Amino acid sequence: MEENGTHERNAGIDVRASPQELREGLVTLLPRLRRFARALTRDAHDADDLVQIAVERALTRAGQLRPDAPLSSWMFGIVRNAWLDELRARGRRARLFAPAESGEQVGDASQGAHADLLAVQDALARLPEEQRAAVALVLIEGLSYKEAAHIMQVPIGTLTSRLARGREALQEMLGETTGALP
Amino acid sequence: MNFSDETLMAYADGELDAATRAAVEAALATDAQLAQRVARHRALRGRLRAALDPVLDEPLPERLLASVRGAPAQRHAANVVALQRAAAPRWSWPQWGAIAASLVGGALLGPLLLRAPAGGAVVTRDGQVLASGALARALTEQLASRQPPGAPVQIGVSFRASNGDYCRTFVLRGESALAGLACRGHEAWRLEVLAHNPAQPAAAAGYRPAGSALPASVARTLDELIAGEPLDAGAEAAARARGWQPAQITPGKTPPGAPAPPGPPRDPDH
């Protein structure tokens, strides 16, 4: 299937890159990292915070980048782990402290025009995190099942069942109408 | 031929082996319903991409470009805090505005203690503020999970700080109306923060977890110090049995629910 083309699967960056090349690779990846983070967090500000943290972590740990792994997979993994850290911190705060208001997600009002983005992000936000990550990696980022499973550190069977469940839930939430299709 | 939804999904995603793909394609040619199910999978991908792809064309925020260029060591800590700050407005504190003064650090404790009829709950020694008397006893002996309802000191949350020390939040009942957080050193409980604890809106919102009765400064200190999750009743009892001294814990231990190490790196400073 074309959408899943290999051009998206691998940023094709030499992983033994010099620090300078790593930085260049990161700049090239930034738009996709932001898209991925936006699918995970829904909130644009949180998404950029997440990307920023991931970039910092990547630069401090360039040595952990494995020679056979594409930079994109490594970075998606770092973004997701940073998000899991944040979710844990929020969960802890929510348990320890009275939550401010029940609707913890507050959409950015400036996005009002992008109604479809909001509808999709609302639906994504209602998925369990593990399904959301699977959907984001495969359907939005166009990664193969194998790459997505590696990033999420789960067997492929687990990835496909999360993906199937996430897909089904999204189809129910978003309805069968696909008027937004180009 | 009947195909499972997962098979059709994998077909739509280009993930089937050649033989199964051929079988699906043969069936698709004659089975309109099957074709519709595949189309449904593809349409969802299209919808998601249509919604999120515009993010790719947004101008990159300068701060992200700066972080790629910047000195990583300096920025790392600052940015972790930044994310926490970004999230902070989401959990506001019911009494936030009601706190006249929240006192952080030993230097600011004096004036408060002079007024506080805390019955010698606190002493200063070598520039440190230490718990004493009834407060020290409660910190050492009282379990949060099993404390007498009328006790003058109520223990809130017990937890491990990121430096390994055991710390506990507490509320002093009675006129003194203080709340604070103390961490266990070798010989004594060191106060990290002590603050006024205005009257509790006890019946305000039904059930409120233990930590929610704390003044904001105490809660912030807790949030800054805590590593992982608060101790449950069993861990708390075990820590008390060890005299609140750090156990020899395997260094690489991750909190429950954390993804297992290999693969993408975990942050060691969490």
Determine the residue of chain B that is closest to A26 in CA distance.
B68
Distance of alpha carbon A153 from alpha carbon A137, whole angstroms: 13
In angstroms, the separation between the Cα of residue A103 and the nearest Cα of chain B is 9
Mutation target for A interface from B17, B91, B229: give the one with most A CBs within 10 A: B91
Residues of A within 8 A of B36 (CB-CB) are none
Q: In the predicted model, is pLDDT for residue A29 greater than 60? A: yes
Contact B90 A170 (CB under 8 A): no
Query: Mutate which of A138, A167, A171 to disrupt the B interface (most B C-beta within 10 Å)?
Result: A167
A69 closest CA partner among A31, A25, A4, A133: A25
What pLDDT does residue A17 have? Answer: 56
Q: How long, in residues, is chain B? A: 270
More confident residue, A30 or B106: A30
State whether A178 and B266 contact (CB < 8 Å).
no
pLDDT by residue (tens digit) across A51-73? 999 999 998 888 788 777 789 99
Supply the Cα-derived Rg of chain B in whole angstroms. 28
pTM for this model (two decimals): 0.52
Chain A residues in contact with B50 (beta carbon < 8 A): 116, 180-182
Burial B104-142 (b: 16+ CB within 10 A, else e): bebeebeebbeebebeebbbeeeeebbbbebbbebbeeb
pLDDT at B100: 27
- Helix axis angle for A71-96 and A19-41, nearest 10°, is 50
For position B1, what pLDDT does the model report? 64
Mean of pLDDT values over A48-53: 92
In terms of Cα–Cα distance, which of A182, A2, A107, A126 is closest to B51? A182
Q: Distance, in angstroms, between A14 CA and closest chain B CA? A: 17
Tell me the pairing of strands B178-184 and B189-196.
antiparallel
pLDDT tens string A138-162:
999 999 999 999 999 999 999 999 9
Q: Give DSSP secondary structure letters for B74-113.
A: HHHHHHHHHHHHHHGGGS--TTGGG-S-EEESGGGHHHHH
pLDDT value at position A175? 78
Residues in chain A closer than 8 A to B209 (CB atoms)? 95-98
Tokens encoding B232: 């449950």
Q: Which residues in chain B show pLDDT less than 50?
A: 71-118, 201-212, 250-270
- B90: nearest CA partner in chain A: A100
Subunit contact A170:B44, Cβ cutoff 8 A: yes
Q: Which of left, alpha, beta for B152 (phi over 0: left; psi -120 to 50: alpha)?
A: alpha
Contacts 24+ apart (CB under 8 A), B251-260: B255/A88, B255/B228, B255/B229, B256/B229, B257/A88, B258/A84, B258/A88, B259/A81, B259/A84, B259/A153, B260/A153
d(CA A70, CA B258): 24
Determine the Cα–Cα distance for residues B12 and B23; give it in Å rounded to an integer: 14
**Count of Cβ atoms closer than 10 Å to residue B249 Cβ:** 9
Q: What pLDDT, on a 0 to 100 scale, did the predictor assign at position A117? A: 78
What per-residue confidence (pLDDT) applies to B252?
47
Residues on chain B touching A73 (C-beta within 8 angstroms): 264
Task: Record the tokens describing residue A123, joined without a space.
Answer: 């639906």
Give the pLDDT score at A97: 53
Tens of pLDDT, residues B181-225: 899 988 889 888 777 766 554 433 333 344 446 777 777 788 888
What pLDDT score was predicted for residue A110? 43
Residues B230 and B157: beta-carbon distance below 8 Å = yes
Supply the pLDDT for residue B221. Answer: 80
The confidence score (pLDDT) of residue B8 equals 93
Q: Which domains does chain A have, with CATH numbers?
A: 2-174 (1.20.140.160)
Cβ distance B75 to A1 less than 8 Å, yes or no, reads no
The stretch A154-182 carries a mean pLDDT of 82
A11's CB contacts (< 8 A; 6+ apart) are A25, A28, A29, A70, A71, A72
First to last CA, chain A: 16
pLDDT at site A96: 60
Question: What pLDDT shows up at residue B45?
Answer: 93
For residue B65, what are its two tokens?
């470009």
- Tell me, what DSSP letter sits at residue A97? S
**Residue A88 confidence (pLDDT):** 86
**Distance (Å, rounded) from C-alpha B157 to C-alpha B143?**
10
Check residue A176 and give its pLDDT. 55
CB pair distance less than 8 Å for A48 and B47: no
Cross-chain Cβ contact B15/A26 below 8 Å: no
What is the pLDDT at residue A87?
A: 87
> Measured in Å, how far apart are chain B's first and last C-alpha atoms?
52
pLDDT at A131 > cutoff 90: yes
Question: Model confidence at A123, in pLDDT bands (50, 70, 90)?
Answer: very high
For the segment A96-125, the average pLDDT, to the nearest whole number, is 59
B269 to chain A: nearest residue by CA? A57
pLDDT confidence of residue B206: 38
Average pLDDT (A33-43) is 92
Q: Would the CB atoms of A26 and B263 count as touching at under 8 Å? A: no
Q: pLDDT for B84-105, tens place per residue?
A: 333 332 222 222 222 223 333 3
**Measured distance CA(B65)–CA(B124) in Å, rounded:** 48
Residue B111: CA atoms inside 13 Å, Cβ hemisphere, count?
7
Per-residue pLDDT band at A180 (split at 50, 70, 90): very low
| Chain A residues close to B56, C-beta within 8 Å | 31-32, 34-35
User: Closest-CA residue in chain B for A139?
Assistant: B45
Count interface pairs A-B at CB distance under 8 A. Answer: 215
